[in-house]
Amino acid sequence: MSAAASMTNADPKPNASGAIDTSTPAERHKAEIRRLKRQVAELKRKLKLAEDQIERQTEALAKKDAEIERLEKAIAEQDAEIAALTAALAQKDAEIASLNKTLAEKDATIAGKDAVITALTEQNAAKALEISDYAYVLELGQNRYEGAGDVIRNDERVRRLCAKAINPFRRDIVEGLGIEGETIRPAAVCVYHPFVATAVDAVRGTGIHVAAVSTAFPHGLAPLSTRLQEIEASVRDGADEIDVVIPRGLVLGARWQQLYDEVVAMRAACGESHLKVILGTGDLATLRNVMLASMVSMMAGADFVKTSTGKEAVNATLPVGLAMVRSIRAYYEETGYLIGFKPAGGISTAKGALDWLVLMKEELGRPWLEPDLFRFGASSLLTDIERQLEHHLTGHYSANHRHAMA
């Protein structure tokens, strides 16, 4: 290599900042090595940081894997429980389906028997209705009036009954009590349809109502069309109150819609006459049935609900009365309509009547002690009231025969 070339290579060169670098190549090599070492050290530091971060992430991932494994195990256990519950539910569903099938079969059997019973009772009622002048009714029971009475067999006895209603107490009792100017009379005279016209004529102008027991009283098993015709006939003859009796089988069979429809039809047949619905509570088995039958009758348009026909084995009782008056109260609170109550049958003494008056006062209030909302349907009650009044005057009880019907 020539001296000129050597001189050229040895000439100092400018560095990156533009200054003349006067260091030797060896020094520059050393500086480059130091720079590279620094870069290596920095890279090692970053690598260590990366390794530490990787280690931390690896630990976090391990924890996540453990948590996932735990959750998967819990899910598997829950799936097993769900499978067991599903199997149990399927078994229960099968049992319920079997029970429903059994109940359906029993319902079908009961419906078939009900149809047979209904057909037989309608046949019996139809045969009874064929007897002229309602003679079958006179065989089934007695005509009674609300407040006092006796058995009625003909028009003359109806007139005597009405005379007793117009003058319920003996003259000596009236004079002894000093009530000659008072008008004390029963609210109504209650008769079968053939005697309605006679009763209307006998009590005309006295303010005493004439009530007709209709709808195949006391059983109520005639066809509905026949029962409605009887109501309409009684209204035409002048009855301003109609006592109807419901078929107890509708209650015992929980056929509430049919009961409602029948009472609605009876209400329409009554026109302007008041409708009193007799439940026949002694045949209804439970107080729940009594409450529901009362509610359905009131919803369908009854002006009064009445306990009994007087022909049942069990007639008016205080537990039944409590159920009925509380249904009246509930209906009044819900609708604002005042419905009357009439216990009938088995109330034969003045002292016994006091229990019912207390019941009405405590459960329904003073308005339900008036005859437009409360009646006794008890033939022998007036006799005992008259006896109690005589005892009050004389200090002695008299025999029933001293207080005859007329």
**How far apart are alpha carbons 378 and 190 in whole angstroms?**
11
Most confident of 20-24, 88-92, 107-111: 88-92
Mean pLDDT of the chain: 85
Three-state DSSP class for 57? helix
User: Would you call 48 a catalytic residue per the annotation?
Assistant: no
Q: Which residues pair with 340 in a beta bridge?
A: 304
Instruction: Please state the rounded mean pLDDT for residues 330-340.
Output: 97
**How far apart are alpha carbons 160 and 216 in whole angstroms?**
25
User: pLDDT value at position 331?
Assistant: 97
Which of 164, 240, 276, 342 is catalytic? The answer is 342
The answer to whether residue 128 scores a pLDDT higher than 90 is: no
User: pLDDT value at position 405?
Assistant: 60
Q: How far is CA 210 from CA 89, 181, 188, in A?
A: 64, 24, 5
* Top-confidence residue, 106 or 334: 334
User: Would you call 44 a catalytic residue per the annotation?
Assistant: no
Q: Give tens-digit pLDDT for 45-67.
A: 999 999 889 989 989 999 998 98
Sign of CA dihedral 94, 99, 100, 106: positive
The answer to whether residue 11 scores a pLDDT higher than 60 is: no
Which of 150, 164, 276, 306 is catalytic? The answer is 306
Which of 243, 276, 303, 384 is catalytic? The answer is 243
The answer to whether residue 12 scores a pLDDT higher than 90 is: no
Instruction: Please state the rounded mean pLDDT for residues 321-328.
Output: 97
pTM: 0.62
**How far apart are alpha carbons 134 and 401 in whole angstroms?**
30
User: Would you call 276 a catalytic residue per the annotation?
Assistant: no
Q: What percent of the chain has pLDDT over 90?
A: 50
Q: Give tens-digit pLDDT for 365-375.
A: 999 999 999 99
Spatial CA neighbour of 125 closest among 193, 224, 196: 224
Q: What percent of the chain has pLDDT over 70?
A: 84
Sign of CA dihedral 178, 181, 183, 185: positive
**How far apart are alpha carbons 338 and 329 in whole angstroms?**
8
User: pLDDT value at position 332?
Assistant: 97
User: pLDDT value at position 150?
Assistant: 36
